[in-house]
Amino acid sequence: MARRKYVIGNWKMNGLSATIADAQAIFAAAGDHPGVDVALCPPFTLIGAMVAAVPGAAVGGQDCHIASSGAFTGSVAAPMLADAGASLVIVGHSERREGCGESDADVRAKAEAGLAAGLSVILCVGEPRAVRESGGAIDHVLAQIAGSVPDEFAADRLAIAYEPIWAIGTGLVPTVGDVAAMHGAIRGALAARFGAAAEEMRLLYGGSVNGDNAAELLDAGDVDGALVGGASLTAGKFLPIVAAAAALG
């Protein structure tokens, strides 16, 4: 089946209220490409303002807690994201797996929390440089998939983002062949576990995607979109990626 291309901007810890104007520009221009699903994940502090400024836009969180409420100072629960107007949440980003010590079990619980709150989930996986260099990247990522993807979900509400850690924010990208091989392996593992539903799940590539390399990366086998960090912060850098996705249909 044809899977719609999906381009998501992850603003990470960037953005003040003035940057809502960038989101308005991005969503307005993305409207020229109705065949592509476009979403932005700003810091928690901007979700409500972004939803208010661009009604109907797909806005998401970058993380959520596993619990729906409670004594967890500084954390944000998935129902709170939904209440703020978010429709999706990223879980398992390597900056949280590595920087905050999140395990596969934690990521799975966060994905389940997001789904239970009615959000779509973007679940990130990816190998460190040493693992890529030792030839163990596919095994590493498939173990993350086995450990962090929940058992039950609607296929259109969970996407996987393959983000090699060594490619994030570095300007380095894997070869198109390596991306296709990884995405094919992920699709195969999902098919073995979930059957035909795996054909409906979108697999995104992330890590130094920009307007120059997007067309090639998005055209790789089993790549259904991109998770974009640095190049998602301005319309000028992000929209060429959306246009590249639109050109591929």
Among 229, 235, 239, 243, interactor with ligand PGA by CB under 6 A? 229
Residue 144 and residue 150 in contact, taking contact as beta carbons nearer than 8 Å: no
In this complex, which beta carbon is closest to ligand PGA, that of residue 107 or of residue 168?
168
3-state secondary structure the chain: CCCCEEEEEECCCCCCHHHHHHHHHHHHHHCCCCCEEEEEECCHHHHHHHHHHCCCCEEEECCCECCCCCCCCCCCEHHHHHHCCCCEEEECCHHHHCCCCCCHHHHHHHHHHHHHCCCEEEEEECCCHHHHHCCCHHHHHHHHHHHHCCCCCCHHHEEEEECCHHHCCCCCCCCHHHHHHHHHHHHHHHHHHHHHHHHCCCEEEECCCCCCCHHHHHCCCCCCEEEECHHHCCHHHHHHHHHHHHHHC
Q: Is 163 in the site for ligand PGA (CB under 6 A)?
A: yes
Any catalytic annotation for residue 93? Answer: yes
User: Which residue out of 95, 102, 112, 163 is catalytically annotated?
Assistant: 163
Question: Which residue, 30, 26, 31, 65, is CA-closest to 42?
Answer: 26
**208 counts as binding ligand PGA under rule CB under 6 A:** yes
The least CB distance from residue 40 to ligand PGA, in Å, is 12
CB of 66 or CB of 231, closer to ligand PGA: 231
Shortest reach from residue 10's CB to ligand PGA, in Å:
4
Per CB under 6 A, the segment of 13-21, 106-114, 136-144, 229-237 that binds ligand PGA is: 229-237
In the stretch 168-197, what mask flags binding to ligand PGA with x, by CB under 6 A?
A: xx----------------------------
Question: Would residue 65 show up in a list of annotated catalytic residues for this protein?
Answer: no
- Taking CB under 6 A as the criterion, the residue among 3, 7, 10, 166 binding ligand PGA is 10
Q: Which of 33, 65, 93, 183 is catalytic?
A: 93
The rounded distance, in Å, linking the Cα atoms of 95 and 73 is 20
Residues 230, 233, 235, 246: which binds ligand PGA (CB under 6 A)? 230
Q: For the CB of residue 240, give the shortest distance to ligand PGA in the complex, in Å.
A: 13
Contact 33, 245 (CB under 8 A): yes
Residue 9 near ligand PGA by CB under 6 A: no
- Measured between alpha carbons, how far is 62 from 47 in angstroms, rounded to an integer? 10
Q: Does 118 bind ligand PGA (CB under 6 A)?
A: no
Query: Is residue 227 close enough to count as binding ligand PGA by CB under 6 A?
Result: yes
Residue 213 engages ligand PGA in binding (rule: CB under 6 A): no
Cβ 102 to ligand PGA shortest distance, Å: 15
Contact set with ligand PGA (CB under 6 A): 10, 163, 168-169, 206-209, 227-231
Active-site residue set: 93, 163
